[in-house]
Structure 1
Amino acid sequence: MSAVLEKPPIWQRAAPMFQGFDGPLAFAVFLLACAGLLVMYSSGFDHGTRFRDHGRNMLIAGAIMFVVAQISPQRLMSLAVPLYTVGVALLVAVAVFGIAKKGARRWVNVGVVIQPSEIMKIAMPLMLAWWFQKREGHLRPLDYVMAVLLLVAPVGLIMKQPDLGTSLLVLAAGLSVIFFAGLSWKLILPPLAVGLVALVLLVVFESQLCAPGVSWGILHDYQQQRVCTLLDPTKDPLGKGFHIIQGMIAIGSGGLLGKGFMQGTQTHLEFIPERTTDFIFAAFSEEFGLVGNLCLIGAFVFLILRGLAIALEASTLFSRLLAGAITMIFFTYAFVNMGMVSGILPVVGVPLPFISYGGTAMVTLGLGLGILMSIAKAKRLVQT
């Protein structure tokens, strides 16, 4: 009788929580986390407690990933509308009585000070995936219009703060869902063509458009300055162009194999601004060179391909759209960060996933990974 009532060991009771975890995805994250800790130690060992705090943030993100992975996709779908509604309400609260710092109104006090725009990075793809799941099998053009409206409202509120970097991430996540839901290429190609023409005209007429006193109207002054600085950073090499110029110098000086671990002169002589956050890719490039960059990019490509594979294998439309959008968030983070540090995109304050210092971004990444793990687990458990 006692043998029947005896509880199994704790490891046997905990084992089901680990079943179905996606090994290749976990391996990709492990590689990126190791790279992040390595470069953070080099660039931040003399920067207060950055290295220790970065490790702590990684552990928190890992715990969040593990907890979220236990939530089924069906349960996640039920959270879509409430989370989106709360997120938009908080963005409105920011616009009305938010806390302003350094000329930006991005925070609100609800007992604790939070940045609601971070919620929308996850709430947006959840909401749109829910929207298309409910209309599976009988999608109409009006449904896509409504999806765009659901996307434009929070993106507009975030841009108003202003926060161009976060608004781009939320926009990319939402557009990914709409694209994966089957939006026709006939509707995608015209905006791309217009954007390409606008880019060419911007480069050709840079001297006139970026002349003193010229205002574009559609962008804030600081955003216009960032675009103009990207086009010609040498106009203000010790001011607005300093970040881009120093980032490119660090990347170029790394050469093929890099200067070696903790041997980066641009990094340790503090020429690279924000060397532990937005511009950490420059510090990594200087010390590990082109070979290190290719390895890092390879790890990101592996992570993205694995996320897309999870999306492709998902059993429901909601899971497929959500996994695809979360994966594209990782792609956008990495592409925009590397692009702005390399001088091919404007500086917009987007961190490099798992590499850059930042607690809020790490929590968002943990949530995203947890969702991917949840979708992968659901598929594997169905198969078994």
Structure 2
Amino acid sequence: MAGIEALSPGADPDRPVNVVFVGAGAVGCFYASRLHHPAHNIHVSLIARSNYKVLAADGVKLQTHTFGDYTFRPHAVFPSVPAAAVNPNPSGAGPREWDYIIVTTKALPDRADDSALIAPLVGPRSCIVLIQNGVGVEQPYRARFPATPIISAVTVISAEQTSPGTVRQNRWTRIHLGPYSDSASFSSTAGAGTSSSSRSDQDATTGAISPSLAPLPPSPAGLQIAGSHRAALLTDWWTRHGLIRDVELGDEVALQTVRWHKLCINAAFNPSAVLSGGRGNADMARDPELREHLAGIMREIWEAAPRILGRGFPEYMASPEKILRSSERNVGSKPSMLLDWEAGRPMEVEVILGNPVRIARERGVEMPRLQTVYALVRSAQEARERGRGKL
């Protein structure tokens, strides 16, 4: 790797690692705060909207179960993508490209193309990271940026923005990372022969990872390699500097397996909370008929997984019954789709319900329970918006 520029924080004070989070909600602000380490030459900025003025003036006040209370002051806060694209370096030294563009907004492909939104930020050394719910969220980005490394990420965290600029983390910090090349087929051979640490050097004393960033051809293998060692860097930084203990790095198939397993929870509880009249997770899990309905959706996804992913869910992943027992204790919790419905916001209908139905159907797998709740929730949203004159 001699002669090849490496992204090694602290090695070159004139070449800091520039990271920008697109979306300054609770999840984005929490993970951004654990990644921002100027002393190690890692500089994290935020693109905010409604809370821009508060964040720009006072930073983010975090009240966390895991790390106590602290204030996160980003390297810079921008009111829009165009503002961040004009001058990522607020010191006035001129434009400097973003090494990582981390998207933490809600995935609403039926409303907007977020891949087009971030296009002004993407340069030849950029890596796109998607921390979003649902399945199939990566494909629009891969289509628009065929030669850019993409990392797909799934998080398990309970966090909320209690007021503009104040974030409370209640439980959990787990995040799974993996490369995304072009696994729309979710074949069992995706990621074969690619190690998460390939082409990376690791210091035996510090554990620091300094992978090569040599240009790679836009082939699935090359994109997997590039995405793998970019993901290895993030895992290293969040673990060593951010002190998050449960950052998990996997290959492409492993990450998509996590996405589909999380779908068992999201696709069951989210639409059912809306359709049942606003009942929370624990309330639904304790109702015999609703419990059977929730279990039916989970079993449907469980049985479809081998034909979609090329393998079933590993034994260590929670079964539908275990998920339901855990949900019984989640008193007071409302799924995100219900919160959006109650607030009159668009819901993540397509990535949580529509995409899995379509992906399964393309592989000859029908999911009638999931298709039913998808049709009903989408229709309810459309009917409400027609009543407001939006359609």
What TM-score, normalized to structure 2?
Answer: 0.29
- Normalized per residue, which structure has more helix? 1
* Higher strand residue share: 2
TM-score (norm 1): 0.29
- Higher Rg: 1
